[in-house]
Homo-oligomer: A and B are copies of this chain.
């Protein structure tokens, strides 16, 4: 498994180059960025040098975000397809094989109708990504307050997401598994053991404050090891089933952090070391 860093949790980062350095200096072997950021990186260095820079610092591109708005109108959706083609092409040039999107647990639309529309749209996204050898990861979102943040309940757990992936029916769709959502959805070690590595496209690692589970806020996360989630168990299970991909930190907070990105990246590196050690994985 490859420890990974995103900008969520380390404050302002100028560009991919800086993120690569912060990752590399603190024991991370992967970063999550957007397709646009990758193109800016190429613009700055040229493709070959950009790749060499990553290679030199032993950092891979873990995942890019899905640049398509699949949650609203057909028009909005269609408008994003060009960006998807571009991002897929760019990601493939870096050997990145994962593109992820999150799924909000409630919606103002009729939930059943929206599920039908979303199924069709993500099916097309998956097929386009597949042309570039990229998998699509769907991240269910567990925190309870979001289940009623919009009018109608949608889905927020592992089981429903797996069934949805089955309904989408494309070979390259899998889970973005986030320890935070696994925890807030009330899921177990055994739920993870039942997965096959091919079902997991990408992983996020975050910790939760010590409040009742149904009061955990999505944007009030803490660094791995600072909270109450059994992250050692989470990591052990993923290792046990043979997951070999990236495990990326994504600390969403209410206020932006006040430390420098150097300090935060160092803190993140130590946090990862601690929980990987607890899982006997260092």
Contacts and interface: CB of A to CB of B under 8 A. Distances in A.
A160 B113 contact: yes
Given A110-B153, A111-B111, A171-B171, A164 B124 contact: no
A116 B169 CA distance: 11
A153 B155 contact: no
A74 B162 CA distance: 14
Contacts of A153: 110-112, 152
B116 A114 contact: no
A116 B113 contact: no
A232 interface: no
A36 interface: no
Contact of A198 (B110, B124, B197): B197
Contacts of A116: 115, 119, 155, 160, 163-164, 166-167
Copy count, this protein chain: 4
Contacts of A131: 74, 77-78, 81, 124
Contacts of A77: 131
Contacts of A115: 111-112, 115-116, 119
A196 interface: yes
Interface residues of A, number: 42
A144 to B, nearest CB: 14
Interface in A45-76: 74
A96 to B, nearest CB: 16
A170 interface: yes
A120 interface: yes
A242 interface: yes
A128 interface: yes
30 contacts: A78-B131, A82-B82, A107-B112, A110-B153, A111-B111, A111-B115, A111-B152, A112-B112, A112-B114, A112-B153, A112-B164, A113-B155, A116-B119, A116-B155, A116-B160, A116-B163, A116-B164, A116-B167, A117-B167, A119-B167, A123-B167, A124-B128, A124-B131, A127-B127, A152-B153, A169-B170, A169-B171, A171-B171, A197-B197, A197-B242
Among all A-B residue pairs, the 7 with the closest Cβ atoms: A198-B198, A115-B115, A116-B167, A113-B160, A112-B115, A116-B164, A111-B111
